[in-house]
Amino acid sequence: MFGAETLQAIAQRGKKLNETIQAEENLLSKQQEADAGTIRNMNYMDQVNFSTIKLTLYQPHTTFQEKTYQYPAIQAYEAPLTSRLYEAFLSGWKVFEQLLVFLVNIWALLVIGFVAYLLYRKHAIRIVKQIGDR
């Protein structure tokens, strides 16, 4: 266990050799136990730090049924025929009003177009007479 140098150092001190050897052995064994404890602790710490936890959760299978009433389809509301005819008449009247407003807005173009038509007709009749005279 001990080397020759250690035994010589103990012998030179002049104490009882057996007691000194036993004390050294006790010290060595305690040191070895402390080292082993430190190594075990480090080993546990490594296992904790690099561990993977696998959890499996179990839940009983349950089913849920619900019955709902299917309501019949509701038809959309439709106004009576007289109401629809009245609304159609009103919308037609509004279109007629808009047409009148449009014609009043372009009165100048209508006058120019009418004058152009009269001039064309006058000249067209003159041209037709000239062709007929030949």
Q: pLDDT digit string (tens) for 61-115? A: 888 889 888 888 888 899 999 999 999 999 999 999 999 999 999 999 999 999 9
Least confidently predicted of 3-12, 31-40, 91-100, 123-132: 3-12
For residue 87, give the amino acid letter: E
Least confidently predicted of 11-15, 83-87, 100-104, 128-132: 11-15
Cα 18 to Cα 2: distance, rounded to the nearest angstrom? 13
Q: Domain of residue 108: give its range.
A: 90-133
128 in a structural domain: yes
| pLDDT exceeds 70 at position 15 | no
82 in a structural domain: no
Contact by Cβ (8 Å): 36, 43: no
17 in a structural domain: yes
Contact by Cβ (8 Å): 1, 25: yes
Cα 85 to Cα 89: distance, rounded to the nearest angstrom? 6
112 in a structural domain: yes
Quick one: pLDDT at residue 10? 63
Number of domains in the chain: 2
What is the CA 25 to chain-centroid distance, rounded?
71
Q: pTM of the full predicted structure? A: 0.34
Cα 4 to Cα 7: distance, rounded to the nearest angstrom? 5
77 in a structural domain: no
Quick one: pLDDT at residue 22? 80
